[in-house]
Amino acid sequence: MEESHNTKSVSLSIPFSSSDTASLVQEVLDVDKELKSSGIQRQISTVGVNLQVNGDLSKPTEGPLGRVTIVQNTPY
């Protein structure tokens, strides 16, 4: 019996007010790693003022498929 691999991908580009803010959000999100058993592979990077989030679901899972926390940038 051959196993079929269905990979599902998602890409997000989230604009921020500055490249410093985008980098700060990336650093915060990098601390929160996906669980190895979740089957999610997540890559986060910055391009200028944009936060790029790319994710691949490599194997079937139960429960939530993935998560990204988005922080509202509120001026002080």
Give the angle 31-46-29 at the CA atoms, nearest 5°: 15
pLDDT score of 13: 93
CA-CA distance, 55 to 40, in Å (whole number)? 7
Compute mean pLDDT per 10 residues along the chain, 76 residues long, and list them. Answer: 58 93 91 68 91 78 54 55
What pTM was estimated for this model as a whole? Answer: 0.61
